[in-house]
Every structure is written in structure tokens, then in C-alpha cells.
């Protein structure tokens, strides 16, 4: 699939898209488009998190940090990882349930020169091949936490462009965590060179 495949008008995903089981949303987000300012990219990798399992921030219950996770679906949950990177998540399931999808990797679409300047890199497949990389490339920061993803911005997630309507997925275990490592809740576009490492088998 080429980056030109997303040149058609973008349709924001409605809040109802996220008001479903987090595993369904995590699968269906692959192929959708994240937009922030002059930059955008197709989602090629996601991970699901739910308050029933200890890898999810919401597992500890409602706190000032997790308040967004328990809020209405269709909002951004952005947090700082290891004091360095801002990570972008899409809040899912009905209000009162702590669940979100981590956006792990993108295939760059628009604003690639700006992404290269922000990342200090040239190779397109390295610009957004990780959750911290993609937020740096798109300029997403903590100020986007608890904002709408459904069109009000500043971060927008749009539906799949035509060439991405049928995305073959590879499922595997989540990476970069120490708890609930056995759950196969990571979803990648099969064959994509833009996913984070280690790349899934298949």
C-alpha cells in the first residue's frame, strides 16, 4: 500500500467507533489515519489495554492520572513514558471502564519533511516505527491529553482510506511491558516495514 492511498478526503471516526470492546477497536484502527497539524500517518500497529489486566494504567482504579481512561470513548489519553516520550492512546469502551488502544506505529503520509526535521532522521520507515517516535514526528505532546479524537482536534483519527479497507493483520503479544505479557493484544499490518521492533512473525 502506498502513501498516496490516503489522499482522499478524511472522515473522522465517530465516538461510537470507540464505544466497543477494546480488542475490536484495536484491530479496526489498523489502516486508519492519525492527523496532527500538517502531519499524518496510517496506523500500522496497535496494542489494546483494559482495566482487567495489570499492564493497563487503569488497573489501579480511578486516579488523577487514569481519569481520562475512565472517561467517554473517543478521547486521547496521552501520557509521558519513562519521563521522555509522550504516548498516544485512544480511549475505548463505555464511560466508567478503563480501556484504551495504544497507537504503536504509523506509515508516514503527509508532512514527511517536517517529521524528518523533528526526528533528525531521513528513512521513512524509521520516522514513526514506535509509539514515542510517532508522537515526536507528529508533534503530539501532553497537552493533547483528554481531547477529542473525533474531529474537534487537535489530534484527529480518520477512517481507513480506500486502499487500506482490507488490511491483513498479524496478532501477537504486547511489547515493552512486564505484566500480562502473555496476552496476544498487539495488532500489526501484515508485511509493513513501519511497525516497531521486534516485528511480529507472519
* pLDDT per position as a tens digit, 99-146: 999 999 999 999 999 999 999 988 989 999 999 999 999 999 999 999
**Would residue 13 count as lying in a domain?**
yes
Structure-model confidence comparison of residues 81 and 157, the more confident one: 157
Is 143 within the bounds of a domain?
yes
Cα angle for residues 40, 17, 46 (degrees, 5° grid): 50
Burial of 154 (0-12, 13-18, 19+ CB in 10 A): middle
Is residue 116 assigned to a domain? Answer: yes
- What pLDDT does 201 receive? 73
pLDDT of residue 8: 57
pLDDT tens digits, one per residue of 58-98: 999 999 999 999 999 999 999 998 668 899 999 999 999 99
Helix ranges (H only) for the chain are 15-18, 22-29, 112-119, 124-127, 131-138
CATH number, domain with residue 50? 3.10.300.10
Q: Supply angle C-alpha 73, 192, 164, rounded to 5.
A: 55
172 domain-assigned: yes
Residue 152 lies in a domain: yes
So what's the pLDDT on residue 202?
64
- Which tens digit of pLDDT belongs to each residue from 179-200? 999 999 999 999 999 999 888 7
Whether residue 202 lies inside any domain: the answer is no
What's residue 200's pLDDT?
Answer: 75
For residue 4, is it within any domain?
no
Domain span at 52: 9-189
- Number of domains comprising the chain: 1
Residues 19-45: pLDDT tens digits? 999 999 999 999 999 999 999 999 999
| pLDDT of 6 above 60 | no
Q: Which band of pLDDT confidence, cut at 50, 70 and 90, is reported for residue 174?
A: very high
Which of 3-17, 57-71, 152-166 is predicted with the least confidence, judged by mean pLDDT? 3-17
In a domain, 196, yes or no: no
CA distance 60 to 41: 32
Residue 27 has a pLDDT of 98
Average pLDDT, the chain: 93
Amino acid at each position: 500500500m502506498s502513501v498516496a492511498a490516503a489522499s482522499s478526503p478524511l472522515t473522522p471516526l465517530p465516538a461510537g467507533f470507540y464505544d466497543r470492546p477494546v480488542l475490536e477497536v484495536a484491530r479496526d484502527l489498523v489502516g486508519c489515519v492519525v492527523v496532527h497539524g500538517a502531519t499524518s500517518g496510517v496506523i500500522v500497529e496497535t496494542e489494546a489495554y483494559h482495566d482487567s489486566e495489570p499492564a493497563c494504567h487503569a488497573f489501579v482504579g480511578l486516579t488523577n492520572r487514569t481519569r481520562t481512561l475512565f472517561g467517554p470513548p473517543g478521547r486521547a489519553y496521552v501520557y509521558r513514558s519513562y519521563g521522555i516520550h509522550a504516548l498516544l492512546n485512544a480511549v475505548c469502551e463505555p464511560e466508567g471502564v478503563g480501556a484504551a488502544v495504544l497507537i504503536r506505529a504509523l506509515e508516514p503520509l503527509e508532512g514527511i519533511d517536517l517529521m524528518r526535521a523533528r526526528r533528525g532522521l531521513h528513512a521513512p520507515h524509521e520516522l514513526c516505527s514506535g509509539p514515542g517516535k510517532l508522537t515526536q514526528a507528529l508533534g503530539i505532546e501532553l497537552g493533547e491529553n483528554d481531547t477529542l479524537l473525533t474531529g474537534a482536534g487537535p489530534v484527529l483519527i480518520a477512517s481507513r482510506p480506500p486502499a487500506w479497507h482490507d488490511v491483513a493483520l498479524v496478532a501477537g503479544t504486547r511489547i515493552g511491558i512486564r505484566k500480562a505479557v502473555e496476552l496476544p493484544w498487539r495488532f500489526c499490518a501484515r508485511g509493513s516495514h513501519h511497525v516497531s521492533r521486534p516485528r511480529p512473525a507472519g
